Structure 1
Amino acid sequence: MLKEVTIKGRLIDAESRCVHWNSRLDIIALKLKCCESFYACYSCHQELTHKDHATHKYNINKSPMEHVILCGVCKNTMTFQKYTSRSFGEADQEGISTQNQPFCCPFCNSPFNPGCKLHYDLYFDFDHRDHRDCEN
């Protein structure tokens, strides 16, 4: 059974979409280290905390096992590596290649917004050269 996790933000539905990001693909929430909470997006965090504290991000290289992504559809949490593995064409748990599958949840296969990679630097600290998904 999944542990219930609260998603914070200016939500418009139960799948983590918010007033800022609400396409059918905007279904992830991201965990910020400063609050140890999942937020629908960075703007939601800034608005709800009234910028009353500095934003602290997880260092993906130093905390690789930290669950920092939540799928708004199935509510499973995952590490950054697990989250990005479906976009690289790696093998899934059964050893089946994910090469031709869309960027999606490794648990429920709900498609994720591939454009989220453009905002990784708002949530995470890491050397971009260490992550293939951050190229371009």
Structure 2
Amino acid sequence: MSKIPVVLSSELLEGRTLARKAEGQALLLTRVGGCVYAVENRCPHMGLPLTRGKLDGKVVRCPWHGSRFDLSTGESLGWADSFAGVALPRWSHGLLAAGRKARALQAFPCAEEDERVWLELPDAGQHKAPNVR
């Protein structure tokens, strides 16, 4: 794994999500309680982006089917229980899951240095800080 810069620290606002790509990986970044988190920006349920997902502390909810994930670990905390933000009755959750079992998001180690957010991505090439806009 290599450390690469993905965003300027000033661009990552508290309680807001930010979508970025690095080394071909779609990322969702956020800052919660002063800590920076980075996960894949793709819900493992149907592969849809989490960018417009609702944040509740360090938990993001998929805006499409309601799956919830811990941003610090990627752990699945709830699986496919709503449609487009509308809660569905418990009996329908299995139907909405479409046979897919709960899976975690990939979470990436990250740190802030030199006014930038740096991530460790698998098989990332060597990058220098000036490549960050």
TM-score past 0.5 threshold = no
Relative contact order higher in (CA < 8 Å, ≥ 6 apart):
2
Higher helix share: 1
Question: TM tier, shorter chain?
Answer: under 0.3
Q: Give the TM-score normalised by the residue count of structure 2.
A: 0.26
